[in-house]
Structure 1
Amino acid sequence: MTPHALSPRALIAWLRFLSWPALRHQAGRQALALLAIALGVALSYGVHLLNGAALAEFGSAAASLNGQPDLVLRAPGGTVQEDAYAQIAGLPEVAQASPVLGGQAQALDAKGQPFNVTVIGLDMLQAGPINPDLLPRLASPLDGLDPGRVFPNAALLRRLGPAGAEGQVLRLRAASSDSGQVQSLDLRIGPSSPDGGPPRAVVDIAAAQVLFGRLGQLDRVDLRLAPGVSPSEWLARQRLPAGLSATPPADESARLGRLTQAYRVNLGVLSLMALFTGSFLVFAVISLSVAQRLPQWALLGVLGMSARERSALVLLEGLLLGLLGSALGLLLGWQLAGLGLRVLGSDLGLAAISGVRPALQFSAAQLPAALLFGGLGLTVSLLSAWLPARSVQRMPVAQVLKGLGQRLSEGPPVWLGPALLLLGLGLALLPPISWPAALAGVPVAAYAAMLAVLAGGMACVPALLRLSLGLLAWSRPGASLLLLRERARDQAGEASRALAGVLVALSLSVAMLVMVGSFRDSLNQWLSQMLPADLYLRSALRGSAGQQAPLPPALVDAIRGSAQLRDIRLQRSQQVWLDGMPAGADPLDLQARELDEQSLPLAGALAPAPAGQTRLTPIYINEALRDAQGLRPGQTVQLRLQPGGPPLPVFVRGVWRDYARQSGAVLMPLSAYRAWSGDLRVTELYLWLPPGADPKASSEALRALAAEPQDLEIAAVSELRAISLHIFDRSFAVTVWLQAVALAIGLFGIAAAASAQTLARRREFGLLLHLGFTRADVLRLLGLEAVLLCGVGAIAGLALGLCLSAVLIWVVNPQSFHWSMDLSLPGWRLAALLAAVFVAGVLASLLAGYRAVAQQAVQAVKEDW
């Protein structure tokens, strides 16, 4: 502002414009806009902090568990022989060669209930420099070589209770990997290890070999080279024993990041919904502020303030709102994340994968993220203030000062809405991007499609308002309807801006409601198809690689002959390799079971065997394997029980839905698996009970058939289904809160926008009162406008929400999680949501317009110069 441009009178007006009464008059609405920005920033930043804390904690736990070797020696089948270890350990440039053997064992807690413990076998003398976080503090390093001692961590001691005191005996039980026989080992409890992860125990590697029945076998060998030796150069000049490979240690935190990327990205995008919706509330509040002060703005313009200076002052208001709201949002987001971790234990589902409880700690590495989310809130606020600023810049000050008013801006061109909708359709058909690596596999095009659909739907609202006037043609003509038609025709652009916030929140809420409902219904149906029996039985023990331990054959025969059952079906869970998989890839999960194609949750049609190859074994792959390997029904592939083992030629008969995992899995007939492998063992049983049988009593009778009843896990399928659905509902509970916050912000936005419009129309209402309208007539007019506006908004929100749900169900979920599902419309919940938003919007508009028909509206006509 140039000093010479304003006269003393203008300076006094400007000071009065910024006086305390004017600020106090706007304080409530400004606080509402401030809260909208703060909530949007807080939710998005809080979700980012929760994700980051969980990943950082898992990375720290994985680093302590895996140590810091230079190279890791492994065998493709997962078993390294001790003679190969001896050859490597004797090489001159190898400083330490630490053998590792681990697995799952069973122990009894303080209440006598069995639970699983991760057992790690180490050579204490070699593991010290590589795995210092796993080793206890011993008086002598030789104490760690005692195969009769066990060193628990703090989590295991908490589970054991008083029985975990040093010197007590801990009994560990595990299933042998080869025979499936249960091994039992009694060990004296020694000093605790500093490992801060889930229940784990460190033992001498000889004790681990006995416990898991793997004498002479190792999982891996961690190598620490001599100082100055480059791992890559050492590998280039070494000839490793046949069948072994040495690679740098895997980045487990990066692995978990890839595994949970889709979940975190989707939740992060959803958390931005409140900030996106809040931008429309900020726009409405600033528009209201501009509308209330139009005479002052006009007076300042007449007295010498330039158009650019007026625009800069409005942007300054948005800047202040953005700075304060973003700062408050960052503080609130930190508190929300801390509350979620301390009180609710909420780490967004990542604890189920990592097995750790993350902690929230501030560090300099978090500063860029805080600046990013703070800058995002500031950007949203400035963009929301841009249109009102342009309006003040372009306003004809003389006409406004005479009370003629003006519109904020013209509405969007008619073609823009359909064009954006078509653009969204085109983007939804694009595959996920593969570059940059940080976004590989993320459905960026699908998210852009959703944004284009939202923008296109908002651009179509003015045309929908004008089209809706045709519905009023049948009604008896009157002054109120005439005014309503003319306003809806001429002010459709401003009406669409009033609807913008609630339209975005409603459409996103409808989309999430339909997507979550469809997912839940599909999951429920999938559980019924994959768990068709009354009872599900498996061993409570795990093998050394964490796989399900086989059931004893005598137990299977006893259960088969039990009078408690009407029918029984067998399943063998195993790991297999597929030819063409990348080197070092994880094996596939195989479920060999007695199949009924009619009951499988298939995704697509079945394919016949290739011509002339009718004897090929049919397999059924899940969607993750189909997408990872580019397989299609009818293709022939080869399976192997071990890398380099005898192949089994098979053909892909079909693709099945697998909501239990995001990695590759294969289904095949049990008879074909047994003929191929010669393995007659069973890992799971599906049991049908006679009509009227009590599942609990039958479970106890079956458990009594086992030599060790605690070795069996028996659950009613109805209980498993209820638990699975409960976990599902809990996982998506956060989306309900995010939707509620966004809807509340949207409703506040429509109230603020209605206030802005009614304040700008005070002279119009005053004129109507002078011409004979009563206050009830004006309120009736406002009610009709609100019903028309909110009705169109509800219909448009429903249509947009259904379009967005189609993108979520048929594009985002298959590309992110490799899960397809059937569209299911929760009719009553949709109707309740639309009715609630419609009623709330009408009431908000009526309350906002109530003051506009007060006595001041009559006096406002006298302001016309």
Structure 2
Amino acid sequence: MTSSLRRVFLASLLRRRLATALSLLAIALGVALGLAVQLIHGAALDEFGRGVRLLSGEADLQVVGPREGFDEGIYPLLARRAEVAEASPVLEIEARLPGRDDSLRILGVDLFRLMRVQPALMPLADREAAGEVGGNEGGDEARGAREAEPSRTGGDGRLAALQPHNLFLSADARAVLTQPYRSASGESQPPAISDGYLLAQSGLRSLRLRIAGQLPGASGSIGVMDIAGAQQHFERVGTLSRIDLKLAEGVELGTARLALETLLPPGVSLRVPEAAASEVGTLSRAYRVNLTMLAAIALLTGGFLVFSTQLLSVARRRREFALLRALGLERRELMRGLLAEGALVGVVGGALGVALGYALAGGAFRFVGGDLGAGFFRGLSPTLAFDPALSLAYLFLGVGAGVAGTWIPAREAARVPPARALRAGEGERAGLPQAHARGRIAALLLALAGLACLLPPLSGIPVGGYAAVALILAAAVLALPALARAVLPLLAHGRSALWRLAHARLSATPAQAVVAGAGVIASVALAVSMAIMVSSFRVSVDDWLEQVLPADLYLRASSSSASGYLDPEALAAIAAVDGVATVDTTRLANLRLSDAEPLFSVLARPAQGNWGLPLVAGSMSVPEDAALPPIWVSEAAADRHRLAPGSHFELPLGGRLQRFIVVGIWRDYARQYGAALVERGDYVALTGDTRVNDAALRVAPGVDPAAVAEALRQRFGAEHITIALPGEIRALSLQIFDRTFLITYLMEAVAVLIGLFGIATTFAALATTRQGEFGMLRHLGLTRAEIGRLIAFEGALTAGLGVLAGTLAGGAIAWVLIEVINRQSFHWSMDLAVPWLVLGVFAFSLVALAALVARLAGRHAMQRSAVLAVKADW
């Protein structure tokens, strides 16, 4: 293509400044949202992986088990093996900080093994701690006297890390814990470190751990102490969380795994250190993929906008193209020129989108964090880095959207004979897609969508569900002309001449509805489907919370993985509080069923009692002839392990595989990768674990639950326990739910905005091509204001058709989201709840906005002189 021709096509883009700018913005928004999701997730995973590599050091393999730990008797067996050069035991504690909402990750380590396997975690003692050789068992006065004295030993601190009460903090941890903390409720809490000591919680008592030094080579918020001290203080004697293994020289990784795996009890796995990062990536994958698909739909909507603007541009320039063809321009050159226009729009829009994506990711890191709104990476502080490959990939997506949106208009323009295109008046309607019946193609696409819904997930990703969404959108766009012919006759009755003119215009050119409505369909379908899905999910979660929270009060020492817990003595003290009628307890343990999947949750509590169990299959009654202990599994566990009532299921409890019979399946929105409920008596008999995480209390009739709560706080200390009413837990849970879907709402708004861009560009272009028509109407007596109302009516009718088609498509997509994508991604079922009022207000508002946008877009065409407007027809 010559430089002169390139200038011709470039000049066309510059003449259509508004349409070009809106197309650029639409592509930029789609690219930015998708890129930002990938950048946030990638940076968070990199940060998590960096932390894993730091903690594993030079280890080749790691022995890992349940979150609560495993028997340390495995350690000497592995350490003596010829395949193992060094073995470093680690006890990981999530130490609850009394009076605060946060916790500190403390690693109990063997100092001498640490130097050989994880040298980056070696502690450096402060000067004061370097001279201390005493223990922590004396009183506060003696301890204070020792601290006030100068170091007498002149020690270099090598023994400080062996003292059971000494704790060493990373710089990040020290910075966080020495600052006042603002809780989730907005209350300011005092620093966790005071007078050189950290206050931590074990059970329902407080520990004072001395800050004895720092961790120069560590990053992230962690602490390190002697493993014996950690086991003693946090009552985890005889327990390890993992063992880091450094293999002997010349030993192959695969050979070592085969030899060592036979030594491990059930529930304990041998894996490479990088598997921890992969596990977290698996946990967040479904949520990330869903957000990426939402961004892809926004980009698809931008592609529709490019299509509509390019199609109308081609229609307006048909005589120009015909003249160029008559002067010798070949078909393929014309098509290449038009595709170059789309590619240029895609390149510029993609480049803007890449820049905006990095800005969005940076803003998310600064104000929200790197957890994608769902808590997968809470506590991490990722660093945004430029990713050339990812940026280039999303830039190409933008180019692809621009080229794809231009392909059909370019092909149609190249096919038109020059003699036909040169006829007067040909440019107004020519080039628009003809409203032939495409019902068969739309029906075929819907049938294919139904078949796609039957496909199983691919590596946990519902590829068939996403394909069904794309097919439904395509079917809705293709069915729009048929829908226009079916609906428009029903709207023909009206007394207003302007209404009848607008109706007649749209009935005569239903292809106009396709051009303007394509982007509206995609955006409305996205908004409607997500509104139905989120409403159904929220209503189902609310109903689920009501079923699982039937008690009057709920008491917790800490989260399931943290160091607070309730022992039998504490439970007896709770039951003795005046006003407490019954106490039901729950112990939450996290097991490792295999090294290839995330942790599996086991809830040990009475099946009957104050805790509800929302069954979807089976029953709460145990068969009288059952030879095995009963178990109730969640929907996720049933899907992932192919379980049904009557199935047998094995769990690694107490160092052995224990067999259960599945009695029922229940709905659980808290644990994505499966959970099971075991009778507390069976759990204690199998494991000997009598600890409890949560207690559900029923108060006596006529007793105020708030008074009982206050008595419990006085008994155990308000800083050691968390007490909440069911309504408070429900409100907090729904608040977290809404915050999780905040980015989803943002993407919906972007898609709707892009759809309105499509209305604006379409009617701006159509108004320009119809200047002669408007001039004739002016000669017949219509004023500029009346022509403006005419365009507004046309915009409302066009948007109404798009909203109707988008709503129907959105309902179908919502079903796919609920029954296919959500079920295959998260293994959750939900009840359908359509927000009719919200959808009605949304549809009415969008039609009204479309009318306003069309009116504003046609303002330029209405301002032209009526005489000049019809001059071409003289």
TM-score, normalised to structure 1, is: 0.86
Matched, 1:376 2:363: no
CA deviation map 1:237-259 (0-9, x unaligned): 67975748754335211111111
**1:227 has 2:227 as partner:** no
1:349 aligned onto 2:373:
yes
Q: 1:573 to 1:75 in 2, by over 3 A?
A: closer
1:54-90, Cα deviation, whole Å (9 max, x unpaired)? 1111111122123331233467897666665345434
Matches within 5 A, 1:276-355: 276-345=300-369, 347-349=371-373, 352-353=376-377, 355=379
Where 2:523 maps in the other structure, the secondary structure is: helix
Q: Which of 520, 529, 533 is matched with 1:511 structurally?
A: 529
Q: Which of 579, 582, 586 is the equivalent residue of 1:564?
A: 579
How far apart are the structure 1 equivalents of 2:767 and 2:596? Answer: 68
* Counterpart check, 1:450 vs 2:469: yes
Superposed CA deviations along residues 733-770 of structure 1, whole A, max 9, x for unmatched, are 11111111111111111121122223333334444555
1:512 maps to a residue whose letter is M
Contact 2:286 2:826 in 1 (8 A): yes
**Structure 1: gaps of 5 or more residues:** 4-10, 176-180, 434-439
- SS of structure 2 residue aligned to 1:658: coil
Q: Paired residue for 1:152?
A: 169
Cα separation, 1, equivalents of 2:253 and 2:450: 50
CA distances 1:712-746 after superposition (whole Å, capped 9, x unpaired): 22122222211111111111111111111111111
Q: Among 233, 242, 253, which residue is 1:211 paired with?
A: 233
Note the C-alpha offset of 1:398.
3.4
8 Å CA contact 2:36, 2:358 repeated in 1: yes
8 Å Cα contact 2:636-2:827 kept in structure 1? yes
Aligned position for 2:446:
421
Question: Which residue is equivalent to 2:512?
Answer: 494
| In 2: Cα distance, 1:585 partner to 1:16 partner | 58
Q: 2:415 aligns to what?
A: 394
Inter-CA distance 98–808: structure 2 relative to 1 (3 Å threshold): same
Residues 595 and 668, structure 1, Cα contact 8 Å, conserved in 2: no
Match of 1:202, SS state, is strand
**What SS is found at the alignment partner of 1:663?**
coil
**Equivalent residues of 2:64, 2:269 under 8 A apart:** yes
Q: Does the 8 Å contact 1:136/1:193 carry over to 2? A: yes
**Alignment match, 2:135:** none
Written as runs of structure 1 = structure 2, the 5 A alignment for 1:818-829 is: 818-829=827-838
2:288 aligned residue (223, 244, 264): 264
Give the one of 735, 743, 746 matched to 1:737: 746
Within a 5 Å distance, the mapping from 1:90-101 to structure 2 comes to 90-91=80-81, 94-101=84-91
Letter in 2 for 1:570: D
Please state whether the residue corresponding to 1:593 is helix, strand or coil. Answer: coil
Q: Distance in 2 between matches of 1:276 and 1:239?
A: 49
User: Cα 1:211–1:541, aligned 2, differ >3 Å: closer, same or farther?
Assistant: farther
Partner Cα distance (1:642, 1:418) in 2: 57
Shift of 1:838: 0.8
1:747 aligns with 2:769: no
Looking at structure 1, the residues matched to 620 and 97 of structure 2 have their Cα atoms a distance apart, in angstroms, of 47
* Residue 589, structure 1, aligned to residue 579, structure 2: no
Counterpart code for 1:658: D
- Tell me what 1:530 maps to: 548
The residue that corresponds to 1:698 in the other structure is 708
Would you say the 8 A contact 1:402–1:864 is kept in 2?
no
**1:801-850, CA deviations, whole angstroms, 9 ceiling, x for partnerless residues?**
11111111111111101111111111221111101111111222233344
Q: Which blocks of at least 5 consecutive residues in structure 2 are unaligned? A: 126-155, 180-190
Alpha-carbon distance between aligned partners in 1 of 2:527 and 2:10, rounded to the nearest angstrom: 41
Q: Secondary structure at the residue paired with 1:666?
A: strand
Structure 1 partner of 2:212: 189
**Aligned ranges 1:60-75 → 2 under 5 Å:** 60-73=50-63
Distance in structure 2 (CA, Å) of the matches to 1:186 and 1:481: 79
SS in 2 for 1:128: helix
Secondary structure in 2 matching 1:751: helix
With over 3 angstroms needed to count, the CA separation of the structure-2 counterparts of 1:297 and 1:558, relative to structure 1, is same
Are residues 1:53 and 2:43 paired?
yes
Residue identity in the other structure for 1:756: A
The structural deviation recorded for 1:351 is: 5.0
How far apart, in 1, do the equivalents of 2:852 and 2:453 lie? 37
Give the C-alpha shift of residue 337 in structure 1: 0.9
Distance 1:457 1:255 in 2: 39
User: Structure 2: which amino acid aligns with 1:804?
Assistant: I
Residues 1:624 and 2:636 are matched in the alignment: yes
Q: 2:720 maps to which residue?
A: 711
Shift of 1:589: 1.7
CA distance in 2, matches of 1:537, 1:168: 31
Identify if the C-alpha distance between structure 1 residues 826 and 15 changes in structure 2 by more than 3 Å, giving closer, same or farther: closer
Q: Distance in 2 between matches of 1:820 and 1:541?
A: 26
Residue 656 of structure 1 deviates from its aligned partner by 1.2
2:558 and 2:748 map into 1 onto residues whose CA distance is 40
1:251 aligns with 2:275: yes
Distance 1:79 1:33, change over 3 A: closer
Contact 2:169 2:211 (8 Å CA) reproduced: no
Distance, in Å, in 1 between the alignment partners of 2:810 and 2:393 is: 29
CA distance in 2, matches of 1:785, 1:531: 53
Deviates more, 1:491-500 or 1:140-149: 140-149
> Does residue 174 of structure 1 match 2:164?
no
Question: For the residues of structure 2 that align with 1:189 and 1:164, how far apart are their CA atoms?
Answer: 15
Q: 2:804 aligns with which of 774, 782, 795?
A: 795
> Which residue of 2 is the match for residue 815 of structure 1?
824
1:331 maps to amino acid: A
State the alpha-carbon separation in 2 of the partners of residues 781 and 350 from structure 1: 47
How far did 1:152 drift? Answer: 1.5
CA contact (8 A) 2:582 2:699 kept: no
Alpha-carbon distance in 1 for matches of 2:720, 2:56: 29
Q: CA deviation at 1:585?
A: 7.2
**Contact 2:9 2:337 survives alignment (8 Å):** no
Q: CA deviation at 1:173?
A: 4.0
Is the 1:391–1:409 Cα contact (8 Å) retained in structure 2? Answer: no
Aligned to 2:133: none
Judged with a 3 Å threshold, the aligned counterparts in structure 2 of structure 1 residues 757 and 728 are, in CA distance, closer, same or farther, namely same
AA aligned opposite 1:595? Q
Q: Secondary structure at the match of 1:711?
A: coil
**Distance in 2 separating the partners of 1:848 and 1:172:** 64
Counterpart CA distance in 2 for 1:225 and 1:773 is 89
Q: Secondary structure at the match of 1:356?
A: coil
Match of 1:575 in 2: 589
- Measured after TM superposition, the shift of residue 606 of structure 1 is 3.8
User: Is residue 457–residue 824 contact of structure 2 (8 Å, CA) maintained in 1?
Assistant: yes
Q: Kindly tell me: are residues 470 and 208 of structure 1, through their superposed partners in 2, closer, same or farther at Cα, counting changes over 3 Å?
A: same
Alignment match, 2:557: 539
* Aligned AA (2:490): L
**In the superposition, relative to structure 1, how do residues 374 and 125 fare at CA in structure 2: closer, same or farther (>3 Å)?**
same
SS, match of residue 721 in structure 1: helix
Amino acid of the structure 1 residue aligned with 2:173 = L
Identity %: 38
Distance, in Å, in 2 between the alignment partners of 1:353 and 1:775 is: 58
